[in-house]
Amino acid sequence: MFFSSSSLFLFLILSSIFSFGFSNRTITNYTFLIREATIKDIKQSFERNQLTSRQLVQYYLREIARLNGLLKGIIEVNPDALLQADAADKERKCKVNGSLPDLHGIPILLKDNIATKDKLNTTAGSFALLGSVVPRDAGVVEKLRKAGAIILGKASLSEWANFRSTTAPSGFSPRSGQGKNPYVLSATPCGSSSGSAISVAANLVTVSLGTETDGSILCPSSFNSVVGLKPTVGLTSRAGAFQLLQDRTPLG
């Protein structure tokens, strides 16, 4: 999971430590900076009524619209993301602080080889799977939904987790184009979980999830200057994710 600085959850979390010229955001009567905020920061802002999930999702959608055409870290956005945010805000008003799940109202991005049973496609970056229907959410997605997370969309990746070709550049897929390293656009973002790292580094999302068979979490984390967590194989569910080797591909 890919996540901002000190926040950890479930699997590969990439910690955003990158400034890309974004403007600061002022929410209600308080100053709260969404850019570079950790999960803990966001949860505290929810509790203090400084921020709503709708405002958070709207911020990310604006940043995606502004930057993703260049960086190509996201393949598609969940059309129901704002509806999920509104539902989270409504639940927050009705429940006591501390009684909500750990990721309640937090947007999360999923690598496009992790299945979601919703309006999003799951294609591993390939047009060959565009429009295909998965039977159910991946195991990790079920847990994320139970934890209250908002599924923001699907991150780009090296097509078929970098096993489509021995010569294709890291971070390229037909559906997204060539993903770009936010620090140095001409540098490789590495792969195959390239979009998951790019998006957190560029503050297009706070948390993202990827997969790794051979460096696909650790390499993008390093090249895009974010924190990546690769869990021990078997500690997280691999059901519903495209895997090159079942005994070597954890989600994180």
The structure's pTM equals 0.85
* Amino acid, single-letter form, for residue 42: I
> How many Å apart are CA 39 and CA 201, to the nearest integer?
15
3-state secondary structure (DSSP) of residue 55? helix
Q: What is the rounded CA–CA span in Å between residue 5 and residue 27?
A: 21
C-alpha distances in Å from residue 151, one per residue of 57, 156, 203, 214, 240? 10, 15, 16, 26, 16
Burial class (CB in 10 A: 0-12, 13-18, 19+), 6: exposed
Q: In the chain, which residues have pLDDT < 50?
A: 4-30
Residue 168 to residues 120, 158, 163, 251, Cα–Cα distance (Å): 25, 8, 9, 23
Tell me how far CA of residue 135 lies from CA of 85, 108, 142, 210, in angstroms. Answer: 25, 21, 13, 20
Q: For 223, which DSSP code? A: H
* DSSP classification of residue 127: G
Conformational region of residue 132, where left means phi above 0, alpha means psi within -120 to 50, and beta covers everything else: beta
Query: Catalytic site residues?
Result: 111, 192, 216
Domains defined along the chain, listed by start: 2-223 (3.90.1300.10)
The pLDDT value recorded for residue 3 is 55
